[in-house]
Copies of this chain bind each other. A is one copy, B any other.
Amino acid sequence: MARPREFDERAALEAASDIFWTKGYEATSTRDLMARMGLTPSSMYAAFGDKRRLFRRALDHYLERLREKMSYLEANASPGEAITGFFWDTIERTLGDALQRGCMLVNSALEVSPQDAELCGAVAQELKLIEGFFRARFSEGQQRGDIANTHSADNAARQLLAVLLGIRVLARVRPERLLLTEAAGQTLELLGLPPLPAAAASAKRSLRRRS
């Protein structure tokens, strides 16, 4: 019994997520947001609350896709390939992004004030989720016999998480294929995980995607 919304909330969130991802929280103004989301202040504030709460939802929206990637790999690849595939996907996507936005989660992890318990906690929890993904896959691979029992899954997961985050930092300022693939590849190799596709193959692949 009232006027219906003229905009798609999901699409608006997607737009908001995009700007926040590109420019960061502080550097994004509410006017940037309204322009990109195609909303007037009234609509935006009514639908999403203030800037902070909108950011929270935009981040969640971004993270949802990250979680989907993990689920997909868990369901459609062997444990070892799931881990390697995660790194491969991360590197290829990062190198393919002309805007060099890196990862919104990592960007947020460093921009968010440690005093902001709620946002900080959300980021921390998501990192634990990724760590858990690594640990579960690694452990599963060990039970299967694909992966050697030389190292504990706990430590392997911690190491993989650190390397992943490091790669995302590096990619932001030094988007060099060799640097990223070798940093990841070396770690995968030492842990007895499947290697990344050769540079030539992955280059061809990203070329195909671009066209």
Contact A170 B127 (CB under 8 A): yes
Of the listed stretches A71-79, A159-167, A193-201, name the one at the interface; the rest are far from the partner chain. Answer: A159-167
A158 CB–B CB distance under 8 Å: yes
Interface size class of A (residues with CB under 8 A): 35 or more
Contact B165 A186 (CB under 8 A): no
Given contact pairs A110-B102, A111-B111, A162 touches B170 in the complex (Cβ within 8 A) = yes
One digit per residue, 1 when the CB lies within 8 angstroms of any chain B CB and 0 when it does not, for chain A 167-178 equals 111101110000
Q: Which residue of B lies closest to A168 (CB)?
A: B169
Q: Which of A20-76 contact B (CB under 8 A)?
A: 23-24, 26-27
Contact A172 B99 (CB under 8 A): no
Contact B114 A169 (CB under 8 A): no
Q: How far is the CA of A168 from the CA of B27 in the complex (A)?
A: 23
Q: Taking each of A23, A163, A166, A190, which has the highest tally of chain B beta carbons within 10 Å of its own beta carbon?
A: A166
Contacts of A114 in B (CB 8 A): 99-101, 172-173
Which label, helix, strand, loop or mixed, suits the secondary structure of the A interface? Answer: helix
Q: Apart from A110-B169, A158-B182, A168-B169, list 13 A-B contacts with CB within 8 A.
A: A23-B113, A26-B26, A27-B113, A107-B111, A109-B169, A109-B173, A110-B172, A123-B173, A154-B182, A155-B182, A158-B186, A163-B163, A166-B167
**Interface residues, chain A, with chain B CB atoms under 8 Å away:** 23-24, 26-27, 99-102, 106-107, 109-114, 120, 123-124, 127-128, 151, 154-156, 158-159, 161-170, 172-174, 179, 182-187, 190-191
